[in-house]
Every structure is written in structure tokens, then in C-alpha cells.
Amino acid sequence: MNHVKSLGEFIVEKQEDFKYAKGELSRLLSAIGLAARVVNREVNKAGLMEDILGDAGAENVQGEAQKKLDVYANDEFIRALKDRGEVCGLASEENEGVIEFKSGYAVDGQYVVAIDPLDGSSNIDVNVSIGTIFSIYRRTSKSGPATFDDFMQKGTEQVAAGYIIYGSSTMLVYTTGNGVNGFTLDPSIGAFFLSHPDMKIPEDGKIYSINEGNYVHFPEGVKKYIKYCQVEDAATNRPYTSRYIGSAVADLHRNLIKGGIYIYPTTTSSPNGKLRLLYEANPFAFIIEQAGGLATDGFRRILEVQPTSLHQRTPLFIGSKNMVEKAMSFMEEFSPQEA
């Protein structure tokens, strides 16, 4: 059998490509890999554990009910990144403000991490794929715990981003700006191994992913694009197939491999969209662009949006290049943006 590269070996081998302090980012990525394995262990036995399934009894900053696993995953990722010396603070979906690392080596950490510790909360209790999404930046402040401004950087400034999908197998997919690589967890060994080197998203696809239940609340351009997807046309392979899991990580991962478009547009009840810029849209955008696809809010490139708050929302049109361009042309024609 050929030697299969472990995540640890791969990170060390590739660290020469990193722009900045090489060992630091390597250690940070390894810490994320470790936390992912711990969370994976709990996800896998969730049905057996009363303290894992169900509501935590609190709401997060978005006013959404927290699941026990949301809280557990959040604690694990914070714990894994704290006091290692690489990260001086986090922004998490589950915490209103910046999580400042105030003691030990952490205050000298050169990186900040934005994280959605558990993506797809509504799928936890029903054994459907869920995920974790992370985005890593160099700090802009000089020293001390992370500041709000450290997180107000455009997505173009990300030094690394990735996701973990807890699916029929568990995978970690990440980029440091030199392509996208996917690693599959071998649970018998407890290590990730390179299974999907240099991932590329097909330029065209046949899958569209959108919560069509919100149809009446969509902008006209999105309604028209959905109808376009459903029209019979042999030359362009239509009608397309509709696939929507409701865990963005899982929908994105499938589309990355097979080709497709994922849209979470504005709706009348969510005029800014639902997904969060810092720890959902930006890391996804970095990965999909690195894989050859596109990520926009329907009009502009996601990675160039200037953040102004930690939990800012954005519409998201992401996936295969030709499909996103087509959807954007419908937006321009039927739902032009107000100046």
C-alpha cells in the first residue's frame, strides 16, 4: 500500500508556502485538527448521550436556541486554541463579543480565529451531517488580547480557512491560499489522512441548493433563477437537481465535489440574508475561490466586503463559476441593487 500522508505530515511539508511564521500556523492548524477529533467523538455517540442531544436551554447572540452540542463544540475549540501561544482571541457564533485570551502565552499570539463551532444545528438531533467552520487572520493589533478591530478585516486577508464535516465519514478541508486539500479521519487510528488532494470545483454543475420554502420571500432575480434551473433544456443539462441538506458545510462540500450552486439570499424576514460573514461566508468563499469557484452576495465578491460587526450577515451565492455567474446575471436584471 502506498504511504498515505497524515494531516500532521502534510502541514509540516507545506509550511514552507506560508507567508508568515511557519511553525505557528502549523501548530494552530494541528490544534484545530485535535479539537475536531474530540468533537467528532461526541458527535458519533450523540444518540447515546443524554447530555449531548437536545437544547441547552439558552439562546445565542443571534437569538437562536443553542443545542448542547453547539455549546460543547464551542468549549472544545476554545479550549484547544487557548494558551497554546498562537491565538490571542476568537470570535464565535456562540459568543456575543470577542473571546479575549488574556493570560499565558496567548497574549503574544499572532493570530485570531473566527469560528462557527457547530454548523447545521437543526440536524444534530436527527443524525444528518453537521460541521465546523473556521477562518484565521493575522492580528492587526500589536499585543495583548485580541481586539474587535482584529476581526474587522476583509476576507481577502484570511491566512487560512477550512471546515470539518461530520458526515458518513469525517473530513477536514482547508486552504492556506495554495489550493484546497481534504483529509479523511480514520477513526480506528484517530488521525486525518490526505484523501482529496488539490480539490477543484467543476466549472459547471447540475445541482442547485436553496431553501425553496422561502420562495415567496426571495428577490425577483432569485425566483427567476430557480425557474431557469427547472426549465427543460438538453443543451445546458437542465432541469438541474435540487439538493438541500440545511447544513451549509454539507451542502457546500457536496457541491465542491460534484459541482453546483448554493444560495442563501435575502428574504423579506432576513433582509441581510441569514449566513454570517466572518465565520460562514468568508471561510467558504476563500475555499471555493481557491478551488476555482466563485462566492458573491449576488452582486459583489464576498471576500472584498468590509466587515463592521462580528455577527454581520450576508446573502451568499457560491459554487461553480458558471452557475454563480448565471445567477448573478438574473440578480442584475431582475433585482438590481439600490445604489
* Residues near ligand AHG, by CB under 6 A: 64, 93, 116, 119-122, 211, 246-248, 274
- Nearest CB to ligand AHG, comparing residues 143 and 268: 268
What is the C-alpha to C-alpha distance for residues 90 and 82, in angstroms, rounded to an integer? 9
What is the C-alpha to C-alpha distance for residues 86 and 106, in angstroms, rounded to an integer? 6
- Nearest CB to ligand AHG, comparing residues 139 and 313: 313
Residue 282 interacts, among ligand AHG, Mn ion, none and using kind-specific CB cut-offs from 5 to 8 Å, with: none
Name every residue whose Cβ is closer than 8 Å to that of residue 264 and which is 6 or more positions away in sequence. Answer: 210, 211, 248, 273, 274, 275, 315, 316
Q: How far is CA 61 from CA 213, 253, 297, in A?
A: 25, 27, 23
Nearest approach, Cβ of residue 263 and Mn ion (Å): 15
> Contact region for Mn ion (CB under 5 A) — 116-124, 170-178, 217-225, 302-310?
116-124
Q: Residue type for 336, please?
A: P
- Nearest CB to ligand AHG, comparing residues 145 and 265: 265
Nearest approach, Cβ of residue 92 and ligand AHG (Å): 10
Three-class HEC string of 158-170? CCEEEEEEECCCE
- Nearest CB to Mn ion, comparing residues 86 and 93: 93
- Nearest CB to ligand AHG, comparing residues 25 and 113: 113
Residue 246 interacts, among Mn ion, ligand AHG, none and using kind-specific CB cut-offs from 5 to 8 Å, with: ligand AHG
Residue 182 interacts, among Mn ion, ligand AHG, none and using kind-specific CB cut-offs from 5 to 8 Å, with: none
Nearest-5° angle of CA 301, CA 306, CA 310?
115
Residue 13 interacts, among ligand AHG, Mn ion, none and using kind-specific CB cut-offs from 5 to 8 Å, with: none
Nearest approach, Cβ of residue 118 and ligand AHG (Å): 6
- Nearest CB to ligand AHG, comparing residues 92 and 320: 92
The binding track of 14-33 with respect to Mn ion, each residue x by CB under 5 A or -, is --------------------
Q: Does 251 bind Mn ion (CB under 5 A)?
A: no
* Residue from 86, 93, 289, 297 in contact with Mn ion (CB under 5 A): 93
Q: How far is CA 162 from CA 58, 148, 149, 288, in A?
A: 28, 22, 22, 10
Q: DSSP string of 216-244?
A: GGS-HHHHHHHHHHHS-BGGGTBS-EE--
Q: Does 116 bind Mn ion (CB under 5 A)?
A: yes
Instruction: Enumerate the H helices of 15-139 as residue ranges.
Output: 22-44, 68-81
- Nearest CB to Mn ion, comparing residues 24 and 116: 116
Phi first, then psi, for residue 286 (nearest 5°) are -60, -45
- E runs forming strands in the chain: 55-59, 65-67, 87-92, 99-100, 111-119, 130-138, 160-166, 170-175, 180-186, 191-196, 207-209, 241-242, 261-264, 294-296, 316-319
Nearest approach, Cβ of residue 92 and Mn ion (Å): 9
The three cell numbers of residue 289 are 475561490
Q: Does 119 bind Mn ion (CB under 5 A)?
A: yes
Three-state secondary-structure class, residue 276: strand
When CB distances to Mn ion are compared, the closest residue is 119
Could you count the other beta carbons within 10 Å of the beta carbon of residue 314?
Answer: 24
Nearest approach, Cβ of residue 249 and ligand AHG (Å): 7
- Nearest CB to ligand AHG, comparing residues 168 and 269: 269
Residue 274 interacts, among ligand AHG, Mn ion, none and using kind-specific CB cut-offs from 5 to 8 Å, with: ligand AHG
Q: By CB under 5 A, name the binding residues for Mn ion.
A: 93, 116, 118-119
